[in-house]
Amino acid sequence: MKFEIEPQLIATAITDLRPTQITVGMREVKAKRLRWREESVDRDALYLGGHAVPVVLGPKRRPYLVDHHHLVLALHLEGEHRVLTTQLADLSRLDRQAFWTFLDNRGWMHPFDADGRRRGYGHIPRSISDLVDDPYRSLAGALRLAGGYAKTEMPFAEFLWADHLRRRIKRATVEGAFGKALKRALVEARKSDAEHLPGWCGPQA
């Protein structure tokens, strides 16, 4: 007989959650906020069960997000106070440097700023509300939804696409003519120089 163990879900205050990245795509956050407002049945279902937020316990047993930063920020801006979290690991015994080094090597953090530059661990904000906008992350998210590449389980895959697009599409276009930037991104996504990126769908037939 086979038994499946359900993950333990813990109601956690959003203000207690620490980010593991510096940026988000604010356009994507806005879209999640709109979806949240338009939920017609049980809005709590958006983050209950299947949308539980994965965390690791760090120094002083503080919970650190390792995914769903956009969703959590959207809920926070909508006035929600708690989300359900599921604990992936207890790393509270590690000192701060060892903790960040472990997350970095495991692929559980993304210490890159809005210009795509790697920064020191100290630049990662302590609050979800202090995440800053990277418009290329929004472009990468929109590109996936438009079929430019496939959804993948690889951590921070959208940021890899964002960095790829950052080198090929002018920031002024992304910020001032997003639709035009998305069309250009769809072309770039099919080129062979993107084949190393997660979810690449191959050249246009």
pLDDT at 23: 98
CATH topology of domain 135-191: Helicase, Ruva Protein; domain 3 (1.10.8)
57: which strand partners? Answer: 63, 90
pLDDT band, residue 153 (cuts 50/70/90): confident
pLDDT at 2: 46
| Alpha helices per DSSP H over 110-192 | 135-145, 157-166, 171-176, 178-189
| Percentages of the chain per state (helix, strand, coil), in multiples of 5 | 45, 15, 40
pLDDT at 51: 72
pTM, to two decimals: 0.89
User: How much of the chain, in percent, has pLDDT values that exceed 90?
Assistant: 82
Residues 92-112: b if buried by 16+ CB within 10 A, e if exposed: eebeeeebbebbeeeebbbbb
Distance of CA 135 to the CA centre of its chain: 13
pLDDT at 5: 46
Q: What is the arithmetic mean of pLDDT over 167-174?
A: 97
The helix (H) or strand (E) run that includes residue 70 is: helix 69-77
> Residue ranges per domain, the chain?
10-133, 135-191
pLDDT at 36: 86
pLDDT at 157: 93
pLDDT band, residue 96 (cuts 50/70/90): very high
Q: Which CATH class is domain 10-133?
A: alpha beta
Average pLDDT in the chain: 91
Tell me the three state secondary structure of residue 149: strand
φ and ψ of 11, to 5 deg: -70, 120
CA distance 30 to 183: 21
pLDDT at 44: 59
pLDDT over 70 (residue 204): no
pLDDT digits (tens, 9 = 90+) for 21-44: 999 999 999 999 998 888 755 555
Q: What is the arithmetic mean of pLDDT over 48-52?
A: 65
